[in-house]
Chains A and B, each alone.
Chain A
């Protein structure tokens, strides 16, 4: 409110008034916090809000009402994806990648894609809440920290192990192959198993061993067979004779 000189009060040119008011009042709206008047300050101090004293510290007892958080839309999408993954793929492996650069990840993804293994990332919380509802709930403790999922329709364990050997930061934790949860040792022994056809052949050969022996005996000359049978009878009779003598005595 500085005194302004306007032409109305200036009677003549070059005339300045004898009294000029220099004092001006302060503004109400300031950029800093204006200090209260002493009376207002006293009033504010007297009427300050004092919260009631808490006898129990706030975190001591858990609250009785627990709110169940509903899944967000993204979580539902991810869960649907996970369901599909578990239905389609025979092999689901869990690997912890402590730190691998983007290039390493890309190379690994490439190597695995050639064998039909896809690399998937899911948030741990979503994964755990999904697994608790399914039959694979024992896999839940594997999902801590930075984890990656290797997923494939055919269980190609040897190729996966080879690819993982080349990247030292990836640590294989476990896998669910054909609805069976396997540890690292289990995975290694699974990779060493021969193929299904070989195992079936071995089983069949073991079962038919006796019948094949009989068949080969019959195919040989009948004189050989009769000689074997005579020998068998001779062995039988002294055994039975000796048993009767022992029974009599």
Chain B
């Protein structure tokens, strides 16, 4: 289910990841899976400075993933209609775009 070779995603490019969701809603599955995937040991070990925070609310709000990159850019993903795979792929492509040298060196 998880995208392959995700270990090299969080290299230096990401500063914070905030996941906000309301667990009693029904459209929360993909956001929770995204949170589980992003806070796994492998991914966290690539960048120890990156903070992964989760906020659990009860106000029927939409599930949102808020990612702040090191250069100040923000990526906001609204997980109500997305699958976790799509979110992970989008996140990975952006990270690779930000840090292509590191990724190429890691591949080689």
0 or 1 for each of B42-84: is its CB under 8 Å from A? (1 = yes): 0010000000111011100000000000000000000000000
Binds B, one of A57-65, A142-150, A206-214: A142-150
A99-B44, A101-B41, A142-B23 known; A171-B29 Cβ under 8 A: no
Q: Is A93 an interface residue (CB 8 A)?
A: no
Inter-chain contact A96/B41, CB cutoff 8 Å: no
Q: Is B95 an interface residue (CB 8 A)?
A: no
B57 to chain A, nearest CB (A): 7
> Which residues between 201 and 239 of chain A lie within 8 Å of chain B, taking CB atoms?
none
Which listed residue (B24, B40, B44, B53) contacts A142, Cβ 8 A?
Answer: B24
Q: How far is the CA of A99 from the CA of B33 in the complex (A)?
A: 11
| B-side interface mostly | mixed
Which listed residue (A96, A141, A145, A171) contacts B24, Cβ 8 A?
Answer: A141
0 or 1 for each of A85-125: is its CB under 8 Å from B? (1 = yes): 00000000000101101000000000000000000000000
Q: Which residues of B contact A186 (CB under 8 A)?
A: 58
Q: Is A75 an interface residue (CB 8 A)?
A: no
Inter-chain contact B40/A99, CB cutoff 8 Å: yes
Inter-chain contact A171/B28, CB cutoff 8 Å: no
Inter-chain contact A98/B56, CB cutoff 8 Å: no
Q: Is A185 an interface residue (CB 8 A)?
A: yes
Q: Which residues of B contact A146 (CB under 8 A)?
A: 36
Inter-chain contact B23/A174, CB cutoff 8 Å: yes
Query: Interface size of A by Cβ–Cβ distance < 8 Å?
Result: 20
B22 to chain A, nearest CB (A): 8
Inter-chain contact A98/B39, CB cutoff 8 Å: yes
B31 to chain A, nearest CB (A): 10
A28 to chain B, nearest CB (A): 46
Inter-chain contact A184/B56, CB cutoff 8 Å: yes
Inter-chain contact B36/A172, CB cutoff 8 Å: no
Q: How far is the CA of A144 from the CA of B32 in the complex (A)?
A: 8
Inter-chain contact A98/B40, CB cutoff 8 Å: yes
> Which residues between 150 and 178 of chain A lie within 8 Å of chain B, taking CB atoms?
168-169, 171-174
A231 to chain B, nearest CB (A): 55
Q: Is B101 an interface residue (CB 8 A)?
A: no
| Identity of the chain A residue whose Cβ is nearest the Cβ of B29 in the assembled complex | A144
Q: Which residues of B contact A183 (CB under 8 A)?
A: 23-24, 56, 58
| Identity of the chain B residue whose Cβ is nearest the Cβ of A170 in the assembled complex | B54
Inter-chain contact A144/B44, CB cutoff 8 Å: no
Q: Which residues of A contact B33 (CB under 8 A)?
A: 144-145
Q: Which residues of B contact A98 (CB under 8 A)?
A: 35-36, 38-40, 52, 54
Q: Is B26 an interface residue (CB 8 A)?
A: yes
| Identity of the chain B residue whose Cβ is nearest the Cβ of A183 in the assembled complex | B58
The 3 closest A-B pairs by CB, nearest first: A98-B39, A183-B58, A173-B23
A–B Cβ pairs within 8 angstroms, 23 of them? A96-B32, A96-B36, A98-B35, A98-B36, A98-B38, A98-B39, A99-B40, A99-B41, A101-B41, A141-B23, A141-B26, A141-B28, A144-B29, A144-B33, A145-B33, A168-B52, A169-B39, A171-B35, A172-B56, A173-B23, A174-B24, A183-B58, A185-B58
A99-B39, A142-B23, A171-B35 provided; 8 other pairs, C-beta below 8 A? A98-B35, A98-B54, A99-B36, A101-B41, A144-B28, A144-B29, A169-B39, A171-B54
Residues of A within 8 A of B (CB): 96, 98-99, 101, 138, 141-142, 144-146, 168-169, 171-174, 183-186
